[in-house]
Chain A
Amino acid sequence: MSLIVKTITRLTVGLILIYGIYVVLQGHISPGGGFPGGIIIALSFIHLLLAFGKDAVLRKLNQAKGVFLASLGAAVFLGIVLGGFMGRQKPLLSQDHFALFSAGRILLCDIAISVMVGTGFFVIFLALVLLNQGEED
């Protein structure tokens, strides 16, 4: 990839990641939530992969670690749902309806879902890229 693409990628990848985390964390106050936030986090990693080639990204997050993180996110979500089914606790509930920690279980569910969705889509894209690379050789 050309030099312009690499320079702009270095500037914007961190901003995209922070925007994704922002969309996840304020999912119960403003539009957004777990799903688009997770996909934005995956898009930041995909941006890095498209600009720099797969070697620069595979050092940080290879396929086995990605699948492990996706399963971890799903397991945490399952634990939260089953915990609500059996018990009746409402953690992190404050009276101010527009604060960050006001919605109890919804915030924890959002974080678990965003980890699961984000790493899942990144693993899928990595698999497709590895197929293309193996085909060109």
Chain B
Amino acid sequence: MSVYFLCFILFCVGLYCILRKRNIIKIIIGLAIIEYAVSLFFILTGYRLHGRAPIFARDQEILNMVDPLPQALVLTTIVISLVVMVIVVSLALRIYEKYGTFDITKIRRLKG
């Protein structure tokens, strides 16, 4: 139980960073922390105590394995999180090129 709670504290640290910081790069770092926390939470729900990795060996009979289904889902999630980070970073680069600053309170002009 306490392990789940620690994972949620990590999520809340990332959430605080997105809500309170004014620099775009800090907001992107908060987004990355939230993604790590969510992947960790999925894997934590599928862990069996004294379990083995879900890979068969040649001459062993393995009875207790951890849950392989959340691992298959999180595998694609990790790759997609990298693509999201790249898109957000390229948006931040264009904003810097146009406005000259990373501060979000100074980016208020909505031109066409």
**A and B in contact, CB less than 8 Å:** yes
Question: Cβ of B75 and Cβ of A124 under 8 Å apart?
Answer: no
What 1/0 mask marks residues of chain A from 26 to 44 whose CB sits below 8 Å from any chain B CB? Answer: 0000110101000100000
What 1/0 mask marks residues of chain A from 115 to 136 whose CB sits below 8 Å from any chain B CB? Answer: 0010001001001100100010
A117 CA to B89 CA, complexed, in Å? 19
Tell me the residues in window 55-106 of chain B with beta carbons closer than 8 Å to chain A beta carbons. 55-56, 58, 75-76, 79, 82, 86, 89-90, 93, 97
Q: Across the A-B interface, how many residue pairs have beta carbons closer than 8 Å?
A: 21
A124 contact set on B, CB distance < 8 A = 86
B97 contact set on A, CB distance < 8 A = 135
Q: Which residue of B lies closest to A117 (CB)?
A: B79
**With known contacts A35-B79, A117-B79, A135-B97, A128–B90 Cβ distance under 8 A:** yes
Question: Cβ of A98 and Cβ of B93 under 8 Å apart?
Answer: no
Task: Tell me the smallest distance from the CB of A20 to a CB of chain B, in Å.
Answer: 15
Count of interface residues, chain B, beta-carbon cutoff 8 Å? 13
A121 CA to B82 CA, complexed, in Å? 10
Task: Tell me the smallest distance from the CB of B91 to a CB of chain A, in Å.
Answer: 12
What 1/0 mask marks residues of chain A from 73 to 117 whose CB sits below 8 Å from any chain B CB? Answer: 000000000000000000000000110000000000000000001
Question: Cβ of A98 and Cβ of B75 under 8 Å apart?
Answer: no
Question: Cβ of B93 and Cβ of A128 under 8 Å apart?
Answer: yes
A-B pairs with beta carbons under 8 Å apart, 7 shown:
A31-B55, A35-B75, A35-B76, A128-B89, A131-B90, A131-B93, A135-B97
**Chain B residues close to A by CB (< 8 Å):** 53, 55-56, 58, 75-76, 79, 82, 86, 89-90, 93, 97
**Chain A residues close to B by CB (< 8 Å):** 30-31, 33, 35, 39, 97-98, 117, 121, 124, 127-128, 131, 135
